Every structure is written in structure tokens, then in C-alpha cells.
Structure 1
Amino acid sequence: MGAAGRTQQPRRPVALITGGSSGIGRALAIRLARDGFDLALLARGIDNLEETRRLVLEQARDAQVNCYPTDVGDAGSVSHSLDALVAEMGPPLWVVLNAGIARPGRFVEQPLGDHLDQMRTNYFGALHVAHAIAPVMAATGHGHLVFVSSGAAFFGIYGYGAYAPSKFAMRGLAEVLRVELAPLGIHVTLAYPPDTDTPQLVEESRSKPAATKEITAGGGLWSADRVAAQIVTGASRRRFLVAPGAQMRLLAHGHSLLSPLLRYYQTRIARKHDR
């Protein structure tokens, strides 16, 4: 049969995922590929990106999975990767802003560099990608930005003086873009994962102050697959707020009312540990 007589397969939508090399990002990649997306994965380390690619293709053999080693905290690195991505794959339909680091510590002891690093990766990393890709989405008349935040964006938690502000900032950006980008056909989702069994959480636990460990204990531990499923389901339904689990939903809807009680609870624990 000649070229004119061939049935052309519909093009699969593209999902861009930052922090796609492990944890929630990897689980989201697998989930979205199984749901029919091609993937553009961004993270710093090529080896872990390639491992995610291998795992994705085990479950979604028809997916195209491109890896772009990128430092999302560097606007130039982001611009270079997104130019290549759009040229090779076309404009993404979904952009999942998941890259993040967490280094807890007591404020009076923690180096200033820890504060700067977490703001650079967690907030500016999301900002750089969103700012670069929003005009591309606007030109197509559709798109979806999915911000992966944290329960630390709801209220101050002992030991997260460097981490929480970066997630508060992400929350503020997502709330503004929800309003500004809607007339352009771009939807926004803001997800608040609970504690999730990932390499990042293991790394985070190494520097958690004793008081922080006690304050955050008892919240349960979710698998990355379960969290990813909830995020994808919520975003697919065009929900702005996705808060997996009863605890996250309570914080999402009642954090202002709960704040005095949570502050009292934390202060009691802090005084016990910081005598």
C-alpha cells in the first residue's frame, strides 16, 4: 500500500516530568506512559533517567521516552532542554513540576547554602520550567501544569525552615497561575503528597532533628505508585487541589483553623528536645 493509503496513527500526547529519575517522578512516568503518554524526563543524572526509561518501557512498550539531563535550578539549562524537547517531540500537553530536595535542620545551625539550594531547586526549578513552557502551551490553546508541593506548604513545621518556604512559594505561584492561565486554556493542579517511600525521604530522614521526627511521626507512609495514581486521577479530572489521604485533605481544607493547635503541639515537643 502506498504512503497515501496508509492509516496514520494518532500522535500520543507528551508529558514532561521534572525529577523524573526516581521516587514519585518515576512512578508518575510509569503511570502516564501506561495511560498513553509519551514522556520527556528531566533530571540531573542521566543514569537514573535511563533507568526510569527502562522501567517505563517494560510496562509501556509503545511509549516514546526521551531523557534530558537538566538542572532545573539553572534557567539556561531548562531553556536548552525545552528547546530540544519541543523540537523533537512537540509541545507537551502535561508538565509535571516534581523536582525537589528536602534537607531539614534547626534554623540556628543550618548553613545558608541549604536554604538557597532548596529554594533554587524546589521553587525556582518549578518557576523556570513553568515560565518557559506556558507560552508554548498558550500558543496551542491547551495544556496542564501539575505542581507537586508538600504538606509543609500549609503551616510552619519545626526543622523545615529551609524547605517549607520553597513549598509555600510554589503554592503561591500555582494559585496565581490557576487564575492567569485559565483564559489561555491551561489548567493547573497543585498536589500535596503525604510522606512517600522514596530515596528522597530516606535522605531527608538523615538530617531530621529529633523534634521534627517526633512531630511528623504517625502520618503513615505511602508508596510512590499509590501517590502517583492519586495525582494522575485528580489532574485528569482537572482538579486544582489533589491531597491524597485523610490527613492531607484535612490540612488542605482546615490548616488555618488547625494552625493554633498544631503550633501548640509543636512547641511542646520542641521545648522537650531543646532544653
Structure 2
Amino acid sequence: MSAAGASHQSRRPVALITGGSSGIGRALALRLARDGFDLALLARGIERLEETRRLVGAAVPEATVNCYPADVGDVAAASGAVQTVIAQMGPPAWVVLNAGIARPGRFLEQPLDDHLDQMRTNYLGALHVAHAVAPAMAEAGSGHMVFVSSGAAFFGIYGYGAYAPSKFAMRGLAEVLRVELAPRGIHVTLAYPPDTDTPQLAEECRTKPAATKAITAGGGLWPADRVASQIIAAARRRRFLVTPGAQMRLLAHGHSLLSPLLRVYQARIARKHDR
């Protein structure tokens, strides 16, 4: 672990952020630090975690930022990191389940390991951390969990056979916890970011089939800071759903009705690109 003030019992509320080393996670870290939080950042790579810590330290010198390199897809690593956070900083006031990977590909061509890796990181990573931290938050009688999902959780999208199920699963977990944890003072927010200008999106585009690019085009590209701002603003208002942009709002409220039309639309594009 690399940490600033590792044994410090924080006087500011603590936000634990998974995937806090880049992209939306880094933007959330900067925003929450400016809003008065100390930070516990979890991610696999210590170098980028340290870079986030330096950026936050330059912007908000009074914030304590502790870095915990851990693979949240590994239950022992995730649980151990959470227990260390609690011991060093106290129970988090906010927990942001943001760690994720996306490797699109056609089902008949994509190796099984791609499916397992994305389920392990995107869903099980969120589950491992939520399960480890929830008892401490329940004992404190307050807290907020923020799940960062995807528009791929609304309906099946060509090329996302490995990614979409992991985000569907996250959505299901968030909907259950919203009901179960409310009596313990824990609020839940579920965010559906649009395409966001992050290193993860650049990596995703490397394997995205042409048909998938055509199907998912049209929603625009959002800066990470703007997405983070909308997530935090909605969570502070204790809203459950965060749907930045008109496309995400439409899908959130009408995906069941739109799904048959979207299947026809996708099939037409897929036929064109598969010729």
C-alpha cells in the first residue's frame, strides 16, 4: 500500500473508490475531494493510483488520499483492502463501485476467458467490495453506495456478449441493495454513463466489431469530469438512477418497449457488416 497518513483516522468523511486510478474513477476522486472527502483509492496498478493521488494532492492539499493496490475481482484481495481502509480511515461514508473492463467481440470468436474476466472484474469486483464494506456502513447507520454500470445493462447489444451480462448483474445487485439496505441508513445510486472519453474506452475500441461501432454511435462522447459531476449531484440528492444525456434517459425509462425495435435495428446493421 502507498498512502498519505496511513494511520490517520480521518476527520473528513471518507469515499472509497474502486477503479480510482483513471477515467471516471479519477474524475470522481477529484470531485469528491473538492467536496470535502478524504479518499481511499483501489485499483490494480500502483503507478496510476499514485498519479491520481498526486493530482488530487495538488488540487486539494488538505485531502488525505490513501492508495490500495488490489484486484477487486479477487475476493481475498478485495476484502483485505476494504478491512485495511476501515482500520486506517474508518467506515467509508461513500463507496463507489466503478472498477470495470470492456472487451467487445463476437460470441463465436471471443475466448471464454474474456467472458470470465469481465464478469470477475465488473460484477464480482463490485460484489466483493460491497459485501465487505456493507456491515461497517450498516453499523454506522449511514452511507451511500454508488454503482457505475453502463447503457449495455438495458438491452443486449451486438458485440457485448461478454460485457453486457456483467453490467446486467451489477444492475440487479444495486436494485436489491436499494431495498434491503435502506432501513440501515444506506442509500444506493446506480449510474449509467454514456460513452466517456477515458483510457478504458480507447482500449475498448481496439476490439469493437464494426457493427457494434455503428450500433452504439450517436450518443456523443462525454468528458469524464462532466459524467462524474452528474453522478455526484444525483447521489447527493439520493436519486437511485443517474442517466446523463438524452440517450441514457430514454433507455432508462423505455428500454422494455424499445427492445423489439432495437433488435430489428441491430439485425439490419449486423447483416450489412457481416456480408
What RMSD in Å do the two structures reach over aligned CA positions? 0.7
Q: Which residue of 2 aligns with 1:218?
A: 218
State the AA in 2 paired with 1:98: N
Cα distance in structure 2, aligned partners of 1:134 and 1:86 = 11
Q: Which residue of 2 aligns with 1:44?
A: 44
Q: Which residue of 1 aligns with 2:247?
A: 247
Cα distance in structure 2, aligned partners of 1:64 and 1:11 = 10
Q: Which residue of 2 aligns with 1:16?
A: 16
Shift of residue 254, structure 1, vs aligned partner: 0.6
Q: Which residue of 2 aligns with 1:100?
A: 100
Task: Describe the SS at the equivalent of 2:255.
Answer: helix
Pair member with larger Rg? 1
1:132-151 equivalences in 2 (<5 Å): 132-151=132-151
1:1-275 equivalences in 2 (<5 Å): 11-275=11-275
Deviation >3 Å, runs of 4+ = none
Shift of residue 168, structure 1, vs aligned partner: 0.2
Shift of residue 79, structure 1, vs aligned partner: 1.5
Shift of residue 83, structure 1, vs aligned partner: 1.4
State the AA in 1 paired with 2:45: G
Task: Describe the SS at the equivalent of 2:187.
Answer: strand
Give CA-to-partner distance per residue, 1:12-52, whole Å, 9 cap, x none.
10000000000000000000000000000000000000000
Q: Is the 8 A contact 2:83 2:132 kept in 1?
A: no
State the AA in 1 paired with 2:83: D
State the AA in 2 paired with 1:106: R
State the AA in 2 paired with 1:103: R
The TM-score, its normalising length taken from structure 2, stands at 0.96
Shift of residue 205, structure 1, vs aligned partner: 0.2
Task: Describe the SS at the equivalent of 1:145.
Answer: strand
State the AA in 2 paired with 1:57: G
Identity %: 82
Task: Describe the SS at the equivalent of 2:66.
Answer: strand
Give CA-to-partner distance per residue, 1:110-149, whole Å, 9 cap, x none.
0000000000000000000000111010000001100000
Shift of residue 219, structure 1, vs aligned partner: 1.1
Q: Which residue of 2 aligns with 1:3?
A: none
Task: Describe the SS at the equivalent of 2:161.
Answer: coil
Structure 2 gaps of 5+ residues are 1-9
State the AA in 2 paired with 1:67: C
State the AA in 1 paired with 2:36: G
Shift of residue 102, structure 1, vs aligned partner: 0.1
Paired residues in the alignment total 266
Cα distance in structure 2, aligned partners of 1:150 and 1:91 = 27
Structure 1 gaps of 5+ residues are 1-9
State the AA in 1 paired with 2:80: H
